[in-house]
Amino acid sequence: MEEYRIGQLYATTVESRNKTDGDSAVQIFENRPFEDHQVYGSGQYTHKRMHFGSKLPSFLDYILPASYKVVDEKSFNTFPTCHTGTLTIMLLINLAEYIHEKFPTSKMVVRTVHVEDDDGRRANVFNLPPERLSQRQVVHLDLALDGITPDKPKHRNPQLVKSEKTHRGPLRRGWVKSLKGEGHPVMCAYKLIDCTFDSYLLWAASGSFAGYVKDLMLDFNQYVYCLMDQWYGLTIEDIRSIEAEFRDEADRIVKYAGIEEREKTPSSTKSA
């Protein structure tokens, strides 16, 4: 679990750097530990701003007005329980707020649980009641087998990446059983996306949205694996130093590129 925590934080920073160009950027305003919070207890607090710009898929670009393409995320990270914390969830939260504003009886709630020594076979990790279980659709995502297309970059393809530091990979069919048999740690991230729509437009777009979220989550976690030799052995102090370096870099890019000024212009505002 600690390995994944380090890997996830490292990959988030790298991916944020990858997405910081043109009219898109990720800024970090605060990144500090917190204790004795009345709701979340102790963990790491971050305040980020994501400028999505033109990096949204077409159906989300159509639904969301310009003001919702700039997201302020205030995250309480109490891993293994996550309250936001990834670019995917930032977008989900913002879309959820827009849906609630325009369609008050619609809702979208996202919950995440990470389980140690788990291969994804738990039937009801969120303890849903029987009537909810009958409505639930389960999608299993395999890092080695799913989302591997001919045009997938080699450095993001777990079928082609072997960790020299840990001697893990490349990943093949049956990799979970194989790695567990060799004594390597295995865990599973469970995500529950609970949606209720009172608009035909939202319902019609839900299939595309679900596919987009699935692809984002899968690709990010494959990238966490593929970056293993970069983050394996790092400490949380190393991660905080890397995050601070990126924070300064992103601020310079946003200021130099004039991203915030362009977002304030009337031409950037789109009616819903």
Dump pLDDT digits (tens) for 109-138. Answer: 667 788 988 888 899 999 999 998 998 889
| Strands of 25-37's sheet in order across | 25-37, 41-51, 70-78, 81-83, 107-116, 187-196
The Cα-based distances of 218 to 15, 49, 129, 153, 240 in angstroms read: 14, 23, 27, 14, 25
What's the whole-number mean pLDDT along residues 10-25? 77
pLDDT confidence of residue 16: 78
**Nearest residue to 146 via CA among 211, 96, 52, 78:** 211
Q: Is the peptide bond before 80 cis (omega within 30 degrees of 0)?
A: yes
Note whether 121 and 213 are within 8 A (CB): no
DSSP state of 265: S
Dump pLDDT digits (tens) for 186-204. Answer: 899 888 877 776 666 666 6
Residue 44 has pLDDT above 70, yes or no: yes
Q: How far apart are the C-alpha atoms of 85 and 9, rounded to whole Å?
A: 9
pLDDT confidence of residue 86: 43
- Contacting residues for 108 by C-beta, under 8 A, at least 6 apart: 92, 95, 96, 99, 193, 194, 195, 196
Note whether 51 and 251 are within 8 A (CB): no
For the chain, give the mean pLDDT.
77
Name residue 48's beta-bridge partners.
Answer: 28, 73
pLDDT confidence of residue 248: 78
Instruction: Find tokens 């004039």 and name the residue.
Output: 258
Tell me which of 188 and 258 has the higher pLDDT.
188
Return the top range by mean pLDDT from 84-88, 174-178, 207-211, 259-263: 174-178
pLDDT confidence of residue 37: 76
Token duo for residue 232: 């394996």
Coil vs helix vs strand at 166: coil
pLDDT confidence of residue 93: 53
Dump pLDDT digits (tens) for 131-161. Answer: 989 988 898 999 999 999 999 999 999 999 9
Full-model pTM: 0.72
Q: How far apart are the C-alpha atoms of 89 and 246, rounded to whole Å?
A: 20
Note whether 41 and 59 are within 8 A (CB): no
Q: How far apart are the first and last CA of the chain?
A: 41
Dump pLDDT digits (tens) for 158-182. Answer: 999 999 999 999 999 999 988 888 8
